[in-house]
């Protein structure tokens, strides 16, 4: 009746490989987290600070595009 925590089934593999993300933003920059890594882009220094794992150029571009889309949506309302 129990489930092995070591054995991963196929549906769990797909979920782990999905394109999920989390973000937060404040007046200083944007935080971005994916399964591959977590970091914060600081507006003033224009640099990424990586806290865990790594964020590749696609992750960084996605963070920028997401923030631009949010701001554009806000300004259009």
Q: What is the pTM of this model?
A: 0.70
Query: Exposed, middle or buried, 62 (CB in 10 Å: 0-12/13-18/19+)?
Result: middle
**pLDDT mean values, one per 10 residues, the chain (77 residues):** 53 58 94 94 96 93 94 94
Looking at residue 28, what is its pLDDT? Answer: 96
Looking at residue 1, what is its pLDDT? Answer: 47
Q: Which of 43, 19, 17 is nearest to 30 (CA)?
A: 43
């Amino acid at each position: 009746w129990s489930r092995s925590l070591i054995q991963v089934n196929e549906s769990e593999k797909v979920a782990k490989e999905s394109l999920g993300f989390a973000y937060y933003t404040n007046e200083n920059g944007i935080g971005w987290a994916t399964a591959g890594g977590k970091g914060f882009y600081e507006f003033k220094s224009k640099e990424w600070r990586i806290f865990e794992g790594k964020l590749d150029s696609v992750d960084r571009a996605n963070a920028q595009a997401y923030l631009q889309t949010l701001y554009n949506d806000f300004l259009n309302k």
